[in-house]
Amino acid sequence: MPESIKTLIIHAHLFTMQGDGVGYIPDGAVAVKDGRIVDVGATSELDARYQASETINASGCALLPGLVDAHMHTYWAIARGVAQDVGNWMQAALSPYARHATPEAKLAGTKLNVVEALKAGTTMMMDYVPLYDGWAEFYEKAGVRARLTPMINALPKTGMAGLKLGALYPYDDDAAQMKIEASQAFIQAWHGAADGRITAMWGPQGPDMLSEDHLIQIKKLAEREGLMIHMHVAQGDREMNQMLKRYGARTPEYLANLGYLDEQLLAVHLTEATDEEAAMMAKSGARMILCSGSIGIIDGIVPPMRAFREAGGLVALGSDQASGNNVNNIFNEMKLTALFNKIMARDPEVMPAWEVLRMATIEGARAIGLGDKIGSLEKGKQADLILVDLTAPNLTPVLVDPVRNIVPNLVYAASGHEVKTVMVAGKILMRDREVLTLDEAAVQAEAQEQAEMLSRRVAEDSSLHGQMALMAAMEEGRL
Amino acid sequence: MPESIKTLIIHAHLFTMQGDGVGYIPDGAVAVKDGRIVDVGATSELDARYQASETINASGCALLPGLVDAHMHTYWAIARGVAQDVGNWMQAALSPYARHATPEAKLAGTKLNVVEALKAGTTMMMDYVPLYDGWAEFYEKAGVRARLTPMINALPKTGMAGLKLGALYPYDDDAAQMKIEASQAFIQAWHGAADGRITAMWGPQGPDMLSEDHLIQIKKLAEREGLMIHMHVAQGDREMNQMLKRYGARTPEYLANLGYLDEQLLAVHLTEATDEEAAMMAKSGARMILCSGSIGIIDGIVPPMRAFREAGGLVALGSDQASGNNVNNIFNEMKLTALFNKIMARDPEVMPAWEVLRMATIEGARAIGLGDKIGSLEKGKQADLILVDLTAPNLTPVLVDPVRNIVPNLVYAASGHEVKTVMVAGKILMRDREVLTLDEAAVQAEAQEQAEMLSRRVAEDSSLHGQMALMAAMEEGRL
């Protein structure tokens, strides 16, 4: 007598990501019940074993774990494309928009970004933003898996704009304390919410952006609660200068002395870290989040991910923010990570497709502390998975013998638009490209409206005249 | 009394690519008659001036010149993804498939590749393949603009497979002579065909792949006929070794001495050229074709395009072949070209979005000798144009003031799937993502069938056992 289950997906090119490789099963199937995977194997076997409420025929599709995006600032989708090709990105191009971003604009950006990422197969989103109303509630409604990090800093209300380049930032310790308390309340309210689909982390914005006392306070709170710390680390020469001036040490050494380097730390970027510093951090057990696209565009730099991994560290991929990437899409990050590292090493064998696919799935899940719940398709794990249509012209042909071409094409030829169906915790969030949990057109329209209002405020701010990096490009007709 | 025309496109974010920048016109319109652009300007003006058989409302879309792909080996779409992440790509990964590719398989690859590129907004395709039946006829039917180059070499029938690494290739001069004659016949039949939509070029495969006598003969024929020469130049250390052994000179010096360096030459790749050699070639008037994606994947190298352009040279982009890129998509090439050059220079200001967009349109058209006919939207030019849907989540929001974000988003955020409508010579080839001139499903099915047959022949060829680079990856479950 077959066992009753909710969903059976059959006839897929199944990549379980179990074991050391990609765990391919030809004509594979996955059985889902109560939000979890209850079985994985050959279609012929599972078909006989289960009676499903819904059977999905995945013929012509790749079936993969949902992708992990370990670092997003979703609200910046509201300013996609306003700050590229400039030298001092944050202060000269982004800050004018940051200054005028209202909570409504930020939430509209979050909604847009979540839709964008979901449509590109991202099921696990690690969002890292200053708190605003409706943020976590939106994730609850959208149905994606999320680890949410309220960003904590001691920067003045006006942000980075107007700070003298090279001078020490002034700290507003009261503001930082309030943000720590707000984070505490947020964590109590949301960590483990939506049946565990939503979890939280502690998020100091960077070791240069709040006082040492506050860094220590956050570390203690995180330890007490068993939560991870999501933090920008060595994210640019600006930060390194601050650290050297303030503490006489580069960031990795400073964090080591402070007791911050352990398995609790998710260190984002490492843009300015040396190979030696990256290796030292990896050996401490800290995890790295690599944002190839954004750091390539913003800084023209390829972070020392290879040194970090060679020292045994776990790395997850992140898409960062649309005002400097300009897309939040893990297919894009996989491709750029493989290619950037090949050309920096002048070696085509570096960072093969299967390795970056692992970073986007099982290795990424382990890096962010969820390796026991997601990242591979195996019995007992959450049913977070995607179907990718391999009959798209850019993914045709599909070959399995003597050389299987699916993984290289997912990494080098797919764009994310080929993702057909997305499931999180057993629930279908997108079917045949249609998002079921959200009104995509309304999200798009709200983002457009809020972005136009934001742009108008920027245009009308006379204090910004002469301070925005892209004005010459506008005048010369290059934009 | 309004003038009668065939098509009027209105309400677009219009990028004419006229002048030195991107030639933006807000709420722009283009009027088309008899396959050409008869007017370009504000919607309000053109709307009053013309009576069109069809009016296309391009609200929410960018309207651009069709993209130029200056180097494709279309038949290799049949083996997409079988040869990545390996050191000796051509001999250890591609050759096993090359040996077994029938004319039917190649033509199926061409069809697939043309559909793929057309759907990604490429309207001008420079295809460079060994002649096979039906090749040019397919371009005639597909409706895209094409410059077709039959590839000429003196290599033995078995190709590169089995040649000892490092040894001089044997030349089969009779075979080369037959290919020259076949090219001559092809050029007579097809140069200027389909109302000038199809043109031809001469195509020695590389300076190392046929005798000096044949190189000279081809140069004379091309000069007599006023045709350009499309040739791989300095395409790898393999070629450089051959040139040094055979002639005691590196490729650029050799070609200079042979009288090959002038405006007639389209030099593809320059993978192994130094900055000085690239600058020397640029100053000769020769043009460069840059294939960022394929050279990145195959060689892990970023060719000296910046040195070539800084010396005044014109550069077009090319997608090369799907067995080593793995996608034939100029949006992909624009993004990779911008990003690769930023990270090699460690400078985010290098290769801004507008420059790569020019390389994909007007500069590319000039480089391939068609700057008077295509590459920009202006009166008198061919009506080759594309509409890109800017309401896609990854291209939202659209902002025009104070910073216009459309060009950065087309380069850094678009994937080509946002291309909605494609027109060539005034004829709509794709409307709302539906290809009108070809049966996309049939093309996909034929390619899949031919690719499976090809793979079977490769699998059954016992002479290849132990010689294919990716077998270990297959056994270890990494593919």
Residue reference for tokens 């843009």: A271
At CA A406, angle to CA A400 and CA A412, rounded to 5? Answer: 145
Q: What is the nearest CA distance from A259 to chain B, expressed in angstroms?
A: 32
Residues of chain A with C-beta less than 8 angstroms from the C-beta of B447: 396-397
Nearest to A300 among B297, B301, B342 (CB): B342
Asked if the interface predicted TM-score (ipTM) of this complex is over 0.95, the answer is yes
Q: What is the nearest CA distance from A214 to chain B, expressed in angstroms?
A: 33
Token pair of B434, please? 């539906």
Q: What is the mean pLDDT of residues B56-67?
A: 98
- Sorting pLDDT into bands at 50, 70 and 90, what band is A156? confident
Q: What is the mean pLDDT of residues A255-264?
A: 98
Q: What is the pLDDT of residues A279-327, one digit of tens each?
A: 999 999 999 999 999 999 999 999 999 999 999 999 999 999 999 999 9
pLDDT at A160 over 70: no
Q: Looking at residue A450, what is its pLDDT?
A: 98
Q: What is the mean pLDDT of residues A86-108?
A: 92
Q: What is the pLDDT of residues B97-113, one digit of tens each?
A: 999 999 999 999 999 99
Cα distance between residue B111 and residue B437, in whole Å: 12
Cα distance between residue A148 and residue B148, in whole Å: 54
Say if CB A285 and CB A259 are below 8 A apart.
no
Q: Looking at residue A159, what is its pLDDT?
A: 66
Cα–Cα distances in angstroms (integers) from residue B1 to residues B8, B38, B363, B384, in the given order:
16, 16, 38, 27
The percent of residues above 90 in pLDDT, for chain B, comes to: 92
Please, which residues 286-345 of chain B have a Cβ atom closer than 8 Å to chain A? Answer: 293, 296-302, 322, 325-329, 336, 339-340, 342-345
Substitution target in B86, B320, B396, B410 with the highest count of A β-carbons within 10 Å is B396
Cα distance between residue B172 and residue A356, in whole Å: 43
Q: Looking at residue A465, what is its pLDDT?
A: 82
Say if the Cβ atoms of A85 and B353 lie within 8 Å.
yes
What HEC string does B429-475 produce? EEECCEECCCCHHHHHHHHHHHHHHHHHHHHHCHHHCCCCCCHHHHH
Substitution target in B113, B323, B403 with the highest count of A β-carbons within 10 Å is B403
Substitution target in B333, B355, B435, B479 with the highest count of A β-carbons within 10 Å is B479
CATH topology of domain A67-367: TIM Barrel (3.20.20)
Substitution target in A13, A361, A479 with the highest count of B β-carbons within 10 Å is A479
Please compute, for residue B192, the number of CA atoms within 13 A of its CA located in the half-sphere on the CB side.
5
Residues of chain B with C-beta less than 8 angstroms from the C-beta of A468: 402-403
Judged by a CB distance cut-off of 8 A, whether residue A466 touches chain B is no
Cα distance between residue A74 and residue A91, in whole Å: 19
Q: What is the pLDDT of residues A202-216, one digit of tens each?
A: 999 999 999 999 999
Tally Cβ neighbours within 10 Å of residue A42: 15
Q: What is the pLDDT of residues B326-344, one digit of tens each?
A: 999 999 999 999 999 999 9
Residue contacts between A and B (CB atoms, under 8 Å):
291
Please, which residues 89-148 of chain B have a Cβ atom closer than 8 Å to chain A? Answer: 89, 112, 115-116, 119-120
Residue of B nearest to A14 (CA): B479
- Sorting pLDDT into bands at 50, 70 and 90, what band is A161? low
pLDDT at A374 over 90: yes
Residues ≥6 apart with Cβ < 8 Å to B381: B36, B37, B372, B373, B374, B375
Q: Looking at residue B162, what is its pLDDT?
A: 64
Q: What is the mean pLDDT of residues A438-450?
A: 98
Q: What is the mean pLDDT of residues A52-73?
A: 98
Say if the Cβ atoms of A84 and B408 lie within 8 Å.
yes
Q: What is the mean pLDDT of residues B437-443?
A: 98
Q: What is the mean pLDDT of residues B14-39?
A: 98
Substitution target in B325, B415, B458 with the highest count of A β-carbons within 10 Å is B415
Lowest mean pLDDT among A225-229, A243-247, A255-259, A460-464: A460-464
Q: What is the pLDDT of residues B72-130, one digit of tens each?
A: 999 999 999 999 999 988 888 998 999 999 999 999 999 999 999 999 999 999 999 99
The percent of residues above 90 in pLDDT, for chain A, comes to: 92
Burial of A274 (0-12, 13-18, 19+ CB in 10 A): middle
Q: Looking at residue B164, what is its pLDDT?
A: 73
Lowest mean pLDDT among A92-96, A457-461, B136-140, B295-299: A92-96
Q: What is the pLDDT of residues A385-441, one digit of tens each?
A: 999 999 999 999 999 999 999 999 999 999 999 999 999 999 999 999 999 999 999
Say if CB A214 and CB A180 are below 8 A apart.
yes
Nearest to B348 among A86, A443, A456 (CB): A86
Please, which residues 2-21 of chain A have a Cβ atom closer than 8 Å to chain B? Answer: 19-21
Cα distance between residue B117 and residue B290, in whole Å: 17
Cα distance between residue A418 and residue A389, in whole Å: 5
Say if CB A14 and CB A28 are below 8 A apart.
yes
Cα distance between residue B455 and residue B445, in whole Å: 15
Cα–Cα distances in angstroms (integers) from residue A353 to residues A9, A241, A339, A386, A408, in the given order:
25, 36, 10, 18, 5
Token pair of A475, please? 């005048």
What HEC string does chain A produce? CCEEEEEEEEEEEEECCCCCCCCEEEEEEEEEECCEEEEEEEHHHHHHHEEEEEEEECCCEEEEECEEEEEECHHHHHHCCCCCCCCCHHHHHHHHHHHCCCHHHHHHHHHHHHHHHHHCCEEEEEEEECCCCCHHHHHHHHCCEEEEEECECCCCCCCCCCCCCCCCCCCCHHHHHHHHHHHHHHHHHHCCECCCCEEECECECCCCCCCHHHHHHHHHHHHHHCCCEEEEECCCHHHHHHHHHHHCCCHHHHHHHHCCCCCCEEEEECCCCCHHHHHHHHHCCCEEEECHHHHHHHHCCCCCHHHHHHCCCCEEECCECHHHCCCCCHHHHHHHHHHHHHHHHCCCCCCCHHHHHHHCCHHHHHHCCCCCCCCCCCCCCECCEEEEECCCHHHCCCCCCCCCCHHHHHHHCCCCCCEEEEEECCEEEEECCEECCCCHHHHHHHHHHHHHHHHHHHHHCHHHCCCCCCHHHHHCCCC
Q: What is the pLDDT of residues B344-393, one digit of tens each?
A: 999 999 999 999 999 999 999 999 999 999 999 999 999 999 999 999 99
Strand order in the sheet with B229-233: B229-233, B265-269, B287-290, B315-317
Judged by a CB distance cut-off of 8 A, whether residue B466 touches chain A is no
φ, ψ at B200 (rounded to 5°): -130, 165
Q: Looking at residue A91, what is its pLDDT?
A: 82
Say if the Cβ atoms of B477 and A339 lie within 8 Å.
no
Residue of A nearest to B470 (CA): A403
Q: What is the mean pLDDT of residues A339-347?
A: 98
φ, ψ at A167 (rounded to 5°): -75, 150
Say if the Cβ atoms of B479 and A403 lie within 8 Å.
yes
Q: What is the mean pLDDT of residues A205-231?
A: 97
Nearest to B112 among A393, A408, A456 (CB): A393
Judged by a CB distance cut-off of 8 A, whether residue A246 touches chain B is no
Q: What is the nearest CA distance from B255 to chain A, expressed in angstroms?
A: 26
Query: Mean pLDDT, chain B, as a whole number?
Result: 96
Q: Looking at residue A467, what is its pLDDT?
A: 84
Residues ≥6 apart with Cβ < 8 Å to B461: B96, B99, B100
Substitution target in B25, B75, B82, B84 with the highest count of A β-carbons within 10 Å is B84
Say if CB A120 and CB A417 are below 8 A apart.
yes
Which region holds residue A409: left if phi is over 0, alpha if psi is between -120 and 50, else beta? alpha
Q: What is the nearest CA distance from A401 to chain B, expressed in angstroms?
A: 7
Token pair of B419, please? 């291309």
φ, ψ at B6 (rounded to 5°): -80, -50
Q: What is the nearest CA distance from A55 to chain B, expressed in angstroms?
A: 25
Say if the Cβ atoms of A404 and B342 lie within 8 Å.
no
Q: Looking at residue A144, what is its pLDDT?
A: 98
Q: What is the nearest CA distance from A189 to chain B, expressed in angstroms?
A: 30
Q: Looking at residue B161, what is its pLDDT?
A: 60
Nearest to A87 among B20, B349, B403 (CB): B349
Residues ≥6 apart with Cβ < 8 Å to B386: B63, B64, B65, B66, B67, B121, B123, B419, B421, B422, B423
Q: Looking at residue A452, what is its pLDDT?
A: 98
Say if the Cβ atoms of B349 and A479 lie within 8 Å.
no
CA A228 to chain centroid, in Å, comes to 15
Judged by a CB distance cut-off of 8 A, whether residue B166 touches chain A is no
More confident site: B167 or A178? A178
What HEC string does chain B produce? CCEEEEEEEEEEEEECCCCCCCCEEEEEEEEEECCEEEEEEEHHHHHHHEEEEEEEECCCEEEEECEEEEEECHHHHHHCCCCCCCCCHHHHHHHHHHHCCCHHHHHHHHHHHHHHHHHCCEEEEEEEECCCCCHHHHHHHHCCEEEEEECECCCCCCCCCCCCCCCCCCCCHHHHHHHHHHHHHHHHHHCCECCCCEEECECECCCCCCCHHHHHHHHHHHHHHCCCEEEEECCCHHHHHHHHHHHCCCHHHHHHHHCCCCCCEEEEECCCCCHHHHHHHHHCCCEEEECHHHHHHHHCCCCCHHHHHHCCCCEEECCECHHHCCCCCHHHHHHHHHHHHHHHHCCCCCCCHHHHHHHHCHHHHHHCCCCCCCCCCCCCCECCEEEEECCCHHHCCCCCCCCCCHHHHHHHCCCCCCEEEEEECCEEEEECCEECCCCHHHHHHHHHHHHHHHHHHHHHCHHHCCCCCCHHHHHCCCC
Integer distance in angstroms from the first to the last C-alpha of chain B?
65
Please, which residues 22-41 of chain B have a Cβ atom closer than 8 Å to chain A? Answer: 22-24
Q: Looking at residue A92, what is its pLDDT?
A: 86
Judged by a CB distance cut-off of 8 A, whether residue A448 touches chain B is yes
Judged by a CB distance cut-off of 8 A, whether residue A472 touches chain B is no
